[in-house]
Amino acid sequence: MTQSNPLRLVYEDDELLAVHKPAGLLVHRSPIDKRETEFALQYARDLNGGQHVYPVHRLDRPTSGLLLFAKDPEVARLLGAQMMAHEIYKTYLAIVRGWPEEQGTVDYPLREEPTDRRLKGQTMAVQEAITDYVRLGISEIPYKVEGYPTSRYALIALYPRTGRRHQLRRHMKHISHPIIGDANHGRGRHNRFFAQHFGEARLFLASVGMSLTHPLTGESLVLSTAPEASFARVATAVGWETLVTEPLPLSQ
């Protein structure tokens, strides 16, 4: 490829490759957009000297942050087993509407969402879904977005215990604190306000931390990354600069 690689290397050894994926980039080819020609998988392969890599987990197209690949199919299988056993712990950062409680747990089952839009409307299974969250900072800005003279927002850390499709976005909607920029589960007025006022029309959800056991050495591996510039710029404008530059704990 002649263009620059949009992935930022976070960690690499003989078996693993961890990168920071920007918002807007698909991980791999998907029914979501059959016309797309660029994928994180391709760029990760370039970082691996053109050799195959195997994605260990999902990261939605509009979500930025940590993305882990295995360099070997057996390593990918071992990490997949850790993922299924809920032994890989992830930390996300999000900007949400309103002021949620200082900390809490959303234990709310979710109906499985098909990855292929052509299957939308079919009856899908309901699955257990649990998310812990911690409120990191709050802000009240002097702009009327809905029916109040000011608007309240919060920066939160999210710790999913399960890995359902769009779990974090759907759980925050469920407790009436939707993630800003979420076109499917958010509030349009607040999304448009952030896009117009701050100049960033994106989903404010970022994968910033991951803890796992190295599949071959058995050692604990902790990965972390700062949110990308577009996220950090808005967080700084709202007053949370130090909160998005310091590493977050990997569990509630």
Which residue has tokens 């972390």?
224
Q: DSSP assignment, residue 125? A: -
Distances (CA, A) of 123 to 28, 30, 168, 174, 235: 26, 21, 21, 20, 39
Element (H, E) at 76: helix 73-84
Return d(Cα 250, Cα 252) in angstroms, integer.
7
Element (H, E) at 164: none
Return d(Cα 245, Cα 224) in angstroms, integer.
11
**Residue of 60, 72, 116, 182 marked catalytic:** 60
SS3 80: helix
- Dihedral (C-alpha) 197, 192, 67, 20: value to the nearest 10 degrees? -20
**Burial (CB count <10 Å: 0-12, 13-18, 19+), residue 206:** buried
Judge contact between 93 and 63, C-beta under 8 A: no
Q: Is 13 a catalytic residue?
A: no
Dig out the tokens for 3 from the structure. 């263009």
SS3 221: strand
* Positions marked active-site: 60
